[in-house]
Chains A and B, each alone.
Chain A
Amino acid sequence: GESVGLHLPTLSVQEGDNSIINCAYSNSASDYFIWYKQESGKGPQFIIDIRSNMDKRQGQRVTVLLNKTVKHLSLQIAATQPGDSAVYFCAEGGSGGGADGLTFGKGTHLIIQP
């Protein structure tokens, strides 16, 4: 994903509703994708990952969908809770050529309203 800009997109949802956070990634050679949650003043926390040989993976209350055709990734959070409020980053990796780090997308600020 392209990491540009100073303003994070914001998604506001009601507590208990489902939320979907979208991410467009940039490198068609990437074969590993991961979602992180980052609360204010803390480091990113792993949520879920997916490899390019899959198009869907489920965790506890979370589902990641991968569409390689359009280079799109989404994170679905079911029955959102106040503790889900955070910034969510997608990241891509595994593109080879000695690139061992992750390339992060710009992030989405999820706000859970009571």
Chain B
Amino acid sequence: DAMVIQNPRYQVTQFGKPVTLSCSQTLNHNVMYWYQQKSSQAPKLLFHYYDKDFNNEADTPDNFQSRRPNTSFCFLDIRSPGLGDAAMYLCATSPNRGGREIQYFGPGTRLLVL
């Protein structure tokens, strides 16, 4: 089945230690998104890629970076995780940009910062 896959499902890191979260998709969608979701809150968009074109939300901290080496894969890099970065990180995809289509979400990676 075509889907959005996130690995790992749970990630534990230490304060200040760089961590990378992975997302892959078999939907062949042009757009991939990263959202952050803290406990009992709504998902919040961090950034997205339209093909290789990177788009950062204005309030996304510089501590968060992303890479998209090809259509199928997208990575979220947190350079120096702080305690406040503990959250669920959700990857999503859509066929096209514009925010007028269904976004398909992966199961998320829950990040714990010790």
Contact = CB atoms under 8 A, between A and B. Distances in A.
B48 A49 contact: no
Given A3-B41, A104-B42, A106-B41, A45 B105 contact: yes
Interface string A74-114: 00000000000000010001110011111111110000000
Given A3-B41, A42-B108, A101-B33, A93 B90 contact: no
B107 A34 contact: no
Contacts of B35: 101
Interface residues of B, number: 31
Interface in A35-90: 36, 41-46, 49, 51, 89
B108 A101 contact: no
Nearest to A95: B99
Contacts of A15: none
Nearest to A46: B102
Contacts of A36: 105
A34 B45 contact: no
Given A32-B100, A93-B99, A93-B100, A43 B41 contact: no
Given A3-B44, A7-B40, A101 B105 contact: no
Interface of B: 4, 6, 31, 33, 35, 39-45, 48, 50, 55, 57, 90, 92, 97-108, 110
Given A3-B41, A100-B48, A101-B99, 16 more contacts: A31-B100, A42-B107, A43-B105, A44-B90, A89-B43, A93-B100, A94-B99, A94-B100, A95-B99, A101-B33, A102-B43, A102-B45, A102-B103, A105-B42, A106-B41, A107-B42
23 contacts: A3-B42, A6-B39, A7-B40, A8-B40, A32-B100, A32-B101, A41-B110, A43-B6, A43-B106, A44-B105, A51-B100, A98-B55, A100-B31, A100-B55, A100-B98, A100-B99, A101-B33, A101-B45, A102-B45, A103-B45, A104-B42, A105-B42, A107-B42
